[in-house]
Structure 1
Amino acid sequence: MATAFFSHGAFDGHVTPPGHPEQVARLAAVARGLAELDLDRREAPLAGDAEVLRCHPAAYVDRVRRAVPAQGWAQLDGDTYLAPGSLEAALRGVGGACAAVDLVIGGGAANAFVAPRPPGHHAERDTAMGFCLFGTVAIAAKRALDHHGLARVAVMDFDVHHGNGTQDLLWDEARVLFCSSQQMPLYPGTGASSEKGAHGQIVNVPLRGGSDGADMRAAYAARVFPAVQAFRPELILISAGFDAHADDPLAGLNWREADYAWLTRRICDLADAHCGGRVVSVLEGGYDLDALAASVAAHVGVLKERGDGRETRG
């Protein structure tokens, strides 16, 4: 079966100020990394407000909409900006993630990768922060549960920064296991192992600055994989941040492309064991353009390899 890839030209409309790390050029790097892969390439649809309201209150959505400038930028927090095209971009990010969930659950693709801008995993219930407007992956998880009737969804976040927004949006959601690894101490300051969620369904794995892929592999084997195994998810969603790479300028972990490939294979192993291989991955961070291109190629290359393998076995 094919691996689907969702993107859209509107993501380039989320223009940030000069020098901002979350820049339009990131998507050109992603495209470069995926250029040689034969993927089922699709355009991300525009999400309606009803999808966003699965996680965010209407007053917050209205506040973001009113803040969109006619030109230039509006600043929502210290590093989160709106340009004239930012709202459409964010809504297409949500729409792409939800469409990918629909496609994979419906059997139209083995797995999927969605490459939106802006990212989403720092957006809390009524707060834009960390470059993020809406909790894209949390919304996609809620769609899988409430629209498709799934009972258990796992969200795995390997961005170098803690997915505080996803944690906030899913804190009370017993049907979602949220597992997140992150460098600590580092922005946004959350993600301690003591943060476990209202139902003990959150697993945070802090990683020390300067640690490498071997440390990551040991931590995932000890804490994350057993939790996912015990949860038996019917779908796995990934917040795929590539800023733990050794070359990334915003953090201090030392992962390499081979580490992303290893982690993706292990996630796919869990998906094969529990949910028919169903994985939807959504881009979060990654700010060194060459490292981003190479890491995305490694990650999606494994997704395609596993999707092609399911077709062969079928």
Structure 2
Amino acid sequence: MTTRVYTHPDADRHVTPPGHPEQVPRRRSVLDALADLPLDWHDAPLADQAELLRCHPQSYVDRIRGSIPTEGWQMLDGDTHAAPGSWDAALRAVGGATDAVDAVLTGKAHSAFVAMRPPGHHAERETAMGFCFFGTVAIAAKRALDHHRLDRVAVLDFDVHHGNGTQDLLWSEKRAFFASSHQMPLYPGTGAADETGEFGQIMNVPLRPGSDGAVARAAWGRILDRMIGWKPQLVLISAGFDAHADDPLAQLDWQDQDFTAITRAICDAAAVSGAPVVSSLEGGYDLAALGRSARAHVIELMETAG
């Protein structure tokens, strides 16, 4: 059973202003890096708006929909811009993640990677920020819990920036274990170790600027030891590749092989409880490093697919 990859050209209709780091070529760099791998390619469907309501109120969804311009850009915050194609792109990012959850939980795939943009892990319940509109991975987790009636889902985030949105959306969800490694200090300024969720189900591991792959692997060893005790039935990954040493937006010192090692460790830990794995693209802003790191990540997902 091979790994599914979800993507769609609508992602390229989410056009950001010139010089913006979350740019259209990011998706192409990932797809080019994966092109020769034996993957099961699928179009990311448009999510039903009901999926958004698993994490966001109707008033927020309506506000985002109403902010989409007919031309040019509408600023949602200082670094988050809506373009004419952003609505469909955001819906397909969510739709790819929820369809991937359906696929792995119904035995159609054992792992999946969603190569879409915009990213999602900074979007809070009623706030678009950090290039993000909707909490893609948190919505996918809620679909697994509420639609598929799972009891325990793990959400793991190795983006260099803390997933404040995912944390906000899952803060009171006792069925979801959320763990993040991230540089601190760095945007968005959240993710201290004492932020543990309403039920102690959140684990933040801040990393100092300059931390290398050895530090990262040790951190993820601690995270995964705890996750194994959680016995998740599904593992979701917010896969940001901006902890790479070449990335322009942060100061961690990870290399390609660190994404290989961390992904392999996540997949091995998921296998302990027989949990399938779904990963969604988050950050990564050096195009060459993004492509190489995403390829290393997906190859490890393929290995766990058998």
Asked whether the two chains share a fold, i.e. TM above 0.5, the reply is: yes
Alignment map for 1:187-198 (pairs within 5 Å) = 187-198=187-198
Alignment map for 1:1-314 (pairs within 5 Å) = 1-221=1-221, 223-276=222-275, 278-307=276-305, 309=306
Shift of 1:219: 1.5
The aligned amino acid for 1:211 is S
2: distance between equivalents of 1:15 and 1:153? Answer: 33
Cα pair 2:104 2:277 within 8 Å, conserved: yes
Runs of 4+ in structure 1 off by over 2 angstroms are none
1: distance between equivalents of 2:214 and 2:123? Answer: 30
The answer for unaligned runs of 5 or more in structure 1 is 310-314
Shift of 1:6: 0.1
Partner SS, residue 76 of structure 1: strand
Cα pair 2:161 2:188 within 8 Å, conserved: yes
Measured against aligned partners, the alpha-carbon deviations of 1:58-90 in whole angstroms (never above 9, x if no partner) come to 000000011100000000000000000001000
Measured against aligned partners, the alpha-carbon deviations of 1:100-148 in whole angstroms (never above 9, x if no partner) come to 0000010001100001110000000000000000000000000000000
Partner SS, residue 134 of structure 2: coil
1: distance between equivalents of 2:304 and 2:51? Answer: 29
1: distance between equivalents of 2:217 and 2:49? Answer: 39
- Give the length in aligned residue pairs: 306
1: distance between equivalents of 2:52 and 2:211? Answer: 36
Shift of 1:275: 2.5
Measured against aligned partners, the alpha-carbon deviations of 1:7-49 in whole angstroms (never above 9, x if no partner) come to 0010000000000000000011001110111100000000111
Partner SS, residue 77 of structure 2: coil
CA RMSD of aligned residues (A): 0.6
The aligned amino acid for 1:305 is E
2: distance between equivalents of 1:31 and 1:229? Answer: 32
1: distance between equivalents of 2:142 and 2:31? Answer: 28
Percent identity reads 64
- Find the counterpart in structure 2 of residue 312 from structure 1: none
1: distance between equivalents of 2:265 and 2:219? Answer: 13
The answer for unaligned runs of 5 or more in structure 2 is none
2: distance between equivalents of 1:66 and 1:41? Answer: 32
The aligned amino acid for 1:262 is A
1: distance between equivalents of 2:40 and 2:223? Answer: 30
Shift of 1:218: 1.3
Measured against aligned partners, the alpha-carbon deviations of 1:225-272 in whole angstroms (never above 9, x if no partner) come to 121011000000000000000000000001011000001111111111
Cα pair 2:242 2:284 within 8 Å, conserved: yes
1: distance between equivalents of 2:184 and 2:244? Answer: 15
Cα pair 2:228 2:270 within 8 Å, conserved: no
Cα pair 2:157 2:163 within 8 Å, conserved: yes
| TM-score for both structures, normalised by structure 2 | 0.99
Cα pair 2:122 2:130 within 8 Å, conserved: yes
Shift of 1:220: 1.7
1: distance between equivalents of 2:129 and 2:110? Answer: 33
Cα pair 2:33 2:292 within 8 Å, conserved: yes
Shift of 1:201: 0.2
